[in-house]
Amino acid sequence: MCGFVAISEPGRVFDDLLLADLAADLKHRGPDSGGLMSETGAALAFRRLAILDPATVADQPMTDPTGRYTIVFNGEIYNYRRLREDLEAVGARFRTKGDTEVILAAYTVWGENCFARLEGMFAVIIIDRETNQLIAARDAFGIKPLYLTRRGKLAAFASEMRPLARLIPISVDQVSLAELLVFRFAAGRLSNLAGIESLPGGTIMVRSLATGDEHTRRFADPLATIDPDPSIDMESAIAQSRDVIIRSVRDHLASDVGYAVQLSGGVDSSLVSAIAQRETGGTLASYGVRIPDFDQDEAPYRTQAVKRIGLDHTEITLDEHAFADALPRAVRHMEGPVPHYGCVMLMLLCDRIRTRSKVVLTGEGADEMFGGYKRYDIWRDLARKGRLAKLVPEWMWPFLQRWREIQRYSGHDPAIFAAVYHDFLALNALFPELIPVPGAREAAAARFADFRERMFAVDQAAYLPSLLMRQDKMAMAASVEARVPFTHMPLAKVVNRFPAALRAPGGATKPILKSVAEEFLPHDLIHRRKVGLTLPLDKWLSNPDGLGRYVDLLAQPDSQLAAFTSPGALRNVVERFRAGKLQGMPPMAHLVNLELWLRSLPTAAT
């Protein structure tokens, strides 16, 4: 896991001080070493978190023996040993024991086709001096971030947006802001900021260093694997899932510096922990977060998992003051409002993990692959509400207040909007100029007719990326690499072929995964109600010394969010909140979240 910046502009020689500043912006992603490469027309700045072959010979930027290619690479390739054997069979020779040199050799032998062979998480830039091109590529799911910006003939790529803000003027992208209001995450190519885009997962971009001409193509598409095979029955689905999950966890243990696990007490992280412990010599370290005096704290289930698996477990305590203190830091590292308030928990947890480990395995992706959310349990009811909403003329809704739960789906596909748990209609009323336009979610849903397949597609294309982004940025804030065994193309190619009737029959969540887990985990842990990273936000917001310290920011004259609604509107919301008049109230924690992000931008008015 690392961080890099790549800049190109025909004929330009980039200043060493600029490159040093760009690298410094990413030092938290790679505190172990750094490197620069600069030549006419292109420059690379790199920071390394050394995990595979931590010797200096594997530092980056790395150039092949001929001098033709130079690479910077963020991520891990889990099948690099097998690829290395294939490359050695055709004459490749290696100086290092890690995966970076394998990618470099793979590109030398197979060209752009090499990226489809890589199993893992990656963002890659390769400079080809013979063709005078820059090649950028990102893994299929977009586990590793890769941003780009263009200004005139200048193009720049980076692992985070912060370095790019040194190169172009920064402003809020209002299309992104509309999605952030409703979905808490701007999906697809949106980055939150105008002039910066996110290179989609599974994409290659080739850019001429001489002319600036560029072209892109997809080399991998997870949604193309959603192709149910009706011949697969439940017994076969469970057996195939068991095999592919074990193989994925085993692959994700590749490390020369050890690893630990995040343990929430849920099925997903507990199953990863159990399989990893079986594969580990010695006792595996696990970490969890305890919330005192909170009835939804999952500590009792973590205790069950720790005893059953035999983990060396550490707990940190998170109270409302620690959460409030850390929230601005989480927003700053997220480079946007936190898409889930559990981001703060993950960041603080990784602070503790970093005292013993650079690598942590997580359960992210299981819900999106196996149907773990409540919406998969009640999919029939959601589909019915969507059909009813289509029958009601728009002018009738003000007279049908009891049907507000159905009104949510007027003009909105429930396969998309069932993932929005707050009252987005109240947000639409407060910010009428910030209504999301059709984007990545609608494009994913449009590819499928079946309601459940649309939900899987939207979750894998737009909701899962928010979880992957939070894991990457919250872990990297502490210089820790987060790995996601359930978000793996070899696994997706198996699981996405299961019929929807097996993955999401209705009346249950994750039936296939839970059947696999019976071999590894206590029955009560597996079949309890899902909690997730839930926090007592309403209680914390009511305390002006805790999270509530930020509420009045919305009513101050320099409120940044107030610029996007009518004068005095946010002040009225704050007054209603303080008076306890919560009926029809927009989600206050989310408004605070957005305000903190807008204030963190260098363009914030004061």
Identify the CA nearest to 537 among candidates 341, 256, 390: 341
Same domain, 131 and 215: yes
Per-residue model confidence (pLDDT) at position 605: 44
Whether 589 contacts 537, CB under 8 Å: yes
Look at residues 160, 193, 220 and tell me which one is the last residue of a structural domain.
Answer: 220
Q: Alpha-carbon distance 2 to 46, whole Å?
A: 8
pLDDT given for residue 449 in this prediction: 96
Q: What is the mean pLDDT of each run of 10 residues along the chain (606 residues)?
A: 93 94 97 96 96 92 97 97 97 95 97 98 98 98 98 96 95 97 97 97 97 95 98 98 98 95 96 95 92 89 95 96 97 96 96 97 97 96 92 78 81 94 91 96 98 98 97 98 98 98 96 98 89 83 94 95 95 92 89 97 62
Predicted confidence at residue 606, as pLDDT, reads 36
Q: Which of 526, 553, 569 is the last residue of a domain?
A: 526
Q: Per the structure block, which two tokens stand in for 487?
A: 């978000």
Give residue 534's pLDDT.
78
pLDDT at residue 376, rounded to an integer = 97
Is residue 461 a part of any domain in this protein?
A: no
**pLDDT given for residue 603 in this prediction:** 67
Residue 600 amino acid letter = S
Same domain flag for 74 and 175: yes
Q: Which of 1, 104, 88 has its CA nearest to residue 477?
A: 1
282 and 187 in one domain? no
Q: So what's the pLDDT on residue 139? A: 98
What does each C-alpha distance from 535 to 30, 190, 333, 395 come to in angstroms? 31, 28, 20, 38
Domain that residue 262 falls in? 224-373+469-526
Identity (one letter) of the amino acid at 144? K
176 and 140 part of one domain = yes
Dihedral (Cα; 93, 96, 101, 105), 10-degree rounding: 0
| pTM reported for the whole predicted model | 0.95
In-domain check, residue 401: no
Is residue 176 located within the same domain as residue 258? no
* All residues at 6 or more sequence positions from 580 whose CB lies less than 8 Å from its CB, including other chains: none
Establish if 59 belongs to a structural domain: yes
Overall domain count for the chain: 3
Task: Please indicate, yes or no, whether residues 181 and 130 belong to a single structural domain of this protein.
Answer: yes
Give domain status of residue 409, yes or no: no
Three-state SS at 440: helix
Task: Give the bridge partners for 45, in sequence order.
Answer: 5, 36
Q: What is the pLDDT of residue 537?
A: 92
Is 22 in the same domain as 135? yes
Q: What pLDDT is stored for residue 222 in this prediction?
A: 98
414 vs 383, 409, 441, 446, CA distance in Å? 7, 6, 11, 13
Query: What is the SS3 assignment for 214-276?
Result: EEEEECCCHHHHCCCCCCCCHHHHHHHHHHHHHHHHHHCCCCCCCCEEECCCCHHHHHHHHHH
Q: Say if residues 550 and 595 touch (Cβ distance below 8 Å).
A: yes
